[in-house]
Amino acid sequence: MQKANVAINPPAVPRSPSGSIKSILSLLTHAASFSLFFLVWHVAAVYVVQSVLFPPPLEVFQRAIELIEQGELFSNIAVSLRRIFLGFLLGAAVGVPLGLGIASFATVRAIIEPWTEFLRFIPSVAMITIAVIWFGIGEESKIFLIFYTTVFIVIINTAAGVAAISKNKIRAARVLGATPWQIFFLVSLPGTVPFIVTGMRIAMANSFTTIVAAEMVSAHEGLGVMLWNARLYMQVPDIFVALVSLGVLGLLADKLFRMASAKLTASYSSNS
Amino acid sequence: MSFISLDSVGKQFLSRRATTAVAVRNFSLQLNQGEFFCLLGPSGCGKSTVLSMLAGFEAPSSGSIQLEGQEIVGSSRERCVVFQGDDSLYPWLTALENIAFGLRLQGMSKRERHAEAFKYLELVGLKGQENKHPTELSGGMKQRIQIARALVNKPRVLLMDEPFGALDAQTRNIMQMELRKIWKETETTILFITHDVDEAILLSTRAGVMTAGPGGTLKAVVDVDLEDNRSRSNPRYLELYDLVHGMIKEEVARSIH
């Protein structure tokens, strides 16, 4: 039996009946788990704390619907996400080549690594004031801060990925006639993809922290602004709406990344 | 002038406490074009270091290594390596793309290199597996990819570092027979490292035995004067086996005491 030209990549979502039962089950457990969370929240707010400072979930949802109807919630979310997206792309676009360069070429390492190691210990929230002075309170300062958050994590993970490539993969390329540049583009780069994706996932999580802090300090719109203004006017439900939104957005972003990385890892990961 | 010549080659490594560890000492060997040479020796004798130097991964600390009178410097397509494990294959490429990798490095067009790689895929008996990724293939198949990937580049010498060491006995036997066949077809010079006496006698035209390490050297070279269709029941096989096995036993005993 010849089995030429068969599809190589296994489907990302299992199609077998047991697979779909599994995914339904996991959906149900997720739903149950969140129901329990909201139940505990409700009981704590209504029966234990009994204060306007801790609204129950239903009140938060009502407020969320109001804010959605006013268009305020989605416009704030869109502003924050756009900043994260742009800064994140920029950070990854700079971080991946730098990480590859550091791990592949001793000169690049010698020139760049000392100060990237130094800068990565300055938290991005500490950079907010100088970012605002440099770039103003508009988009540029936020994008810069997200870039700053992203770039070092991506550099470190990418460099670690290159270091994890087995020596024999490089040696094999050499005896097959590869130049250092060919080794870089055809071996180091594809071999590092799973690590790059992992670095980007961690960076994405940190970006959420940075954007909220930056927007709280100085901005006109965004989830951070929403949080800060709600504090000024004591609109506690608004604070909770912003918090829940952040949780949901983070969860979705991470889920997207995990799906992408599962796909990439299937074709790029090394078994050794 | 011999094809490959190693002349009083030595290799020392600087160990962590700044003392030198001798891996290979005063190693001299001449290889003829087209021969199948097996290098045997107890673990740690430095046989892999010899291969590493021939591949150009390491430079000898003393002595000289020449291919047709030219000093060997660094790696080259002329001297290809088949590695012991499967971690030298590229898991993001298919079997065919792995085999075509060397041709791709030379800038051959995709259609041309795939056609050429396909010939070698067939030669190593992997027809039908061309679109599979290494992770989907068995250990024996992965070593076949490695052999085809090396041969497609038409190297002057094929350096094989215990390529069948991790395979089960049955697969190993099949691979040995096929390697003999491929060697006859391609007339490539092969240096094959193993610690398995049986393997060396079934495969090689000459077998060299190294002394126990650290700092091993060549103890003796045995002519494996067996006919093509090699069988373990041939009395000459048994004689050679005893001879080589005896030498290695001596060395192992020395390394233990």
Contact A177 B76 (CB under 8 A): yes
Instruction: Give me the CATH number covering residue A140.
Output: 1.10.3720.10
**Integer Cα distance of B82 and B253 in angstroms:** 30
DSSP B211: P
| Chain A residues with beta carbon closer than 8 angstroms to that of B105 | 173, 176-179, 182, 186
Tell me which residue of B69, B61, B73 sits closest to B25, measured CA to CA. B61
Domain ranges for chain B, please list them.
Answer: 4-78+155-256, 90-154
CB-nearest to A267 from B92, B106, B149 is B92
Domain that holds residue A254: 61-268
- Classify residue A107: in a domain, yes or no: yes
Interface pTM, i.e. ipTM: 0.91
A12 is a domain residue: no
Is A171 within 8 Å of B136 when comparing Cβ atoms?
Answer: no
Q: Find the CB nearest B106 among A177, A193, A267.
A: A177
- Does residue A33 lie in a domain region? no
Of the candidates A104, A227, A83, A86, the one whose C-alpha atom is nearest the C-alpha of residue A159 is A104
B86's tokens = 């499967």
Output the tens digit of pLDDT for each of chain A's 272 residues: 333 333 344 444 444 556 788 888 988 998 999 999 999 999 999 999 988 899 999 999 999 999 999 999 999 999 999 999 999 999 999 999 999 889 888 899 999 989 988 998 999 999 999 999 999 988 999 999 999 999 999 999 999 998 889 999 999 999 999 998 899 889 988 888 888 888 888 998 899 999 999 999 888 999 999 999 999 998 999 999 999 999 999 999 988 888 887 777 666 654 43
Q: How far A202 CA sits from the closest chain B CA (Å)? A: 24
Q: What is the pLDDT of residue A261?
A: 76
Residues contacting A61, CB < 8 A, separation 6+: none
In a domain, A150, yes or no: yes
Residues 6+ apart with CB under 8 A from A184: A100, A104
CATH of the domain spanning B4-78+155-256: 3.40.50.300
Strand partners, B64: B7
B88 neighbourhood in chain A, CB within 8 Å: 166, 168-169, 171-172
Chain-chain contact of A3 with B128 (C-beta, under 8 angstroms): yes
| Position A52 in a domain | no
Query: Measured between CA atoms, how close is B251 to chain A, in angstroms?
Result: 29
Domain count, chain A: 1
Does A108 reside within a domain?
yes
Would you tell me which residues 104-133 of chain B have a C-beta closer than 8 angstroms to some C-beta of chain A? 104-106, 128, 130-133
- Could you give the CA distance from residue B15 to residue A268 in angstroms, rounded to a whole number? 35
Of A8, A168, A271, the CB nearest to B132: A8
CA distances from A151 to A79, A88, A96, A174 (A): 21, 8, 8, 31
Question: For A268, which of B85, B92, B104 is closest by C-beta distance?
Answer: B92
Phi and psi of B208, rounded to 5°?
A: -110, 140
Q: Which of B105, B118, B158, B188 to mutate to test the interface with A (most CBs of A within 10 A)?
A: B105
Scan residues 33-92 of B and list those with Cβ closer than 8 Å to A. Answer: 55-57, 75-77, 79-81, 83, 85-92
Question: Is the C-alpha dihedral spanning B58, B62, B68, B70 positive or negative?
Answer: positive
